[in-house]
Chains A and B, each alone.
Chain A
Amino acid sequence: MTAPAIETAGLIKTFGDNTAVAGVDLTVAPGTVYGLLGPNGAGKTTVVRMLATLLRPDGGSARIFGHDVVREADTVRSRVSLTGQYASVDEDLTGSENLVLLARLLGHTKAQSRDRSAQLLAAFGLTEAAGRQVKKYSGGMRRRIDIAASILNTPDLLFLDEPTTGLDPRSRNQVWDIIRIVVAAGTTVLLTTQYLDEADQLAGRIAVIDHGRVIAEGTPGELKSSIGAGTVHVRLRDAAQRPEAERLLASVLGTTVQQGSDPLALTARAEAGSDQGAAELASRALARLAEAGIVVDDFSLGQPSLDEVFLALTDSPAPQEVPA
């Protein structure tokens, strides 16, 4: 099997006047996790829906393991699974009924379906909740039953559309662990996310999407170094020293410094230059504060946020999330 798991060329989708996807080229190698990173409304979900045969592209082509998503939709469907942004299970049914229903639809016999369902419920820690309606599940449990439903037949390609949006940190970590195990078993994963750290944690390669276009592509490391910026967070011991510290940081880092609502905190971007990296710059700034006799209790150089990625790539901040 040498065909890429996903290969798209000039993929386009329009809804009326709105061009949701404006020519996307992607190549995803089998057995990897690929991250589609972008804000709400960037076109991530539309790309996934076209690849999962739910939407017909208006232009360009998409192949899954070499099979065209339009002409060979049925073959594609037998190789992929989708876990959508909203529970792709029937909320009125119990967890176990959902899994048995889908197993039957995949061609398992009644007995096989019950076995498979029980096995999956156990593997996802849902045995106790098996007889409860899914609408009574917590957010994390819903995600788990949803992913369980997606691997009833182990898919060759799994689409995960914002799998951790709205989850608490513990549930998010559980989902991350599940994704790692699924990939280790040989399944390719296409993951959409709004969080850079999520893509960083899981994905081998990332495409950053904005306004229906890929505006950057590469490994997480490549992306971060291409952005070349980190965020310096400083926490002082003495609030009276803040104006002085602010002046020093601004002069060393060459950027504006923001005062946090905490009277002891300062935040600034450290932008890498051709001769020095962001970390180097940050350490010089720290040394400078020490020289001036300013006591620093806490110091960190954070990863660039999605907002900073967008600032760097598009010169405009990530579009504001519209509360649904």
Chain B
Amino acid sequence: MSTDTAEPVSTYAPSRDTLGAVLARADRPKRPSALSASLTFGWRALLKIKHVPEQLFDVTAFPIIMTLMFTYLFGGALAGSTSEYLQFFLPGIMVTSVVMITMYTGVGLNTDIEKGVFDRFRTLPVWRPAALVGMIFGDVLRYILAATTIMVVGLILGFRPEGGLLGVLAGIALLVVFSFAFSWIWTMFGLFLRSEKSVMGVSMLVLFPLTFLSNVFVEPSTMPGWLQAFVQVNPITHLVTAIRSIMAGTPDMAETMWTLAASAILVLIFGTLTMRLYNRK
């Protein structure tokens, strides 16, 4: 170890008195509830953001670039003007950016799990999924930050949602719920794959078709039939339709319910698979 320079001349000597007093056996506190343990792990995620704030770059700069780039690239061609296009496009690019950011959950878990600290977490007598749920709680905060960033950029560029503040908040809430559920796919890959590079690779492979082959950028009616078929079953399409309707002030309940149901199913399937891998690791 070459890091020994950090220690001033070590004069520490373990004392039988002070250390012995610490070791005196006291009544153990009751184990925390599942929620409390998860929130504590969420606090850990916040502390990590506090110590390494650069990691917020991908939830602020990346979404801004995505929004600006596509608005000015496609706006004139597809809708005649950028502000016209924005009314259609903004909810979609918000979904695309946030769903793409979910992959960092898997990348982060993969690097985290290689370190010894997860051994300690896994030997604690707490609700087993708490460490992972807490981690995703921290990520949810990043999703909210990214969604808010895009909304602010959109409003500046001329996006005018009919649904008002309430519609915008409800739309973001639905996106966050779906992204929370979607993150469990990446925790599974984060535990399953060997390196963070492979997690990245698989994430891209899934995310690119999922976000681009949807109704985010253009109306599916211009696409060939076979592609329309895919677009129609793509959960991103349903999510975008739901959010567009909510932000426009005319909530499409069917699409919203579809999205919520899809979220529940994602958590059920990938949460279970994740926990199985987590326990076996």
Contacts and interface: CB of A to CB of B under 8 A. Distances in A.
Given A90-B44, A138-B3, A171 B117 contact: no
A111 to B, nearest CB: 12
A105 B123 contact: no
A124 B280 CA distance: 34
Contacts of B19: 123-124, 178, 181-182
Interface in A47-62: 49, 52-54, 56
B32 A105 contact: yes
Interface string B113-151: 001110111111110001000000000000000000000
Interface in B1-29: 1, 3-7, 10-16, 18-26, 28-29
Contacts of A140: 4, 7, 10
A52 B123 contact: yes
Contacts, number: 161
Contact of B124 (A77, A89, A92, A154): A77
A87 interface: yes
B55 to A, nearest CB: 10
B129 to A, nearest CB: 13
A174 B37 contact: no
Given A141-B7, A151-B22, A53 B13 contact: no
Interface in B22-56: 22-26, 28-32, 36-37, 40-41, 43-44, 47-48, 51-52
A138 B5 contact: yes
A108 to B, nearest CB: 5
A198 interface: no
B30 A107 contact: yes
A14 to B, nearest CB: 14
Contacts of B126: 105
A232 interface: no
Interface in A138-178: 138-141, 144, 149, 151, 153-154, 166, 168, 170-171, 174, 177-178
B142 to A, nearest CB: 16
Given A91-B115, A106-B124, A138-B3, A187 B23 contact: yes
B40 A101 contact: yes
Interface residues of A, number: 62
B9 to A, nearest CB: 10
A140 B3 CA distance: 10
A56 B279 CA distance: 9
A123 B18 contact: yes
A124 B24 CA distance: 15
A82 B120 contact: yes
A10 interface: no
B22 A89 contact: no
B10 A171 contact: yes
B18 A122 contact: yes
Nearest to A120: B22
B44 A139 contact: no
B116 A87 contact: yes
B117 A89 contact: yes
A243 to B, nearest CB: 43
B19 to A, nearest CB: 5
Nearest to A52: B123
Contacts of A120: 22
B120 A177 contact: no
Contact of A108 (B1, B29, B124): B29
A56 B25 contact: no
B46 to A, nearest CB: 10
Given A81-B123, A181-B14, 4 more contacts: A90-B117, A102-B124, A123-B19, A125-B13
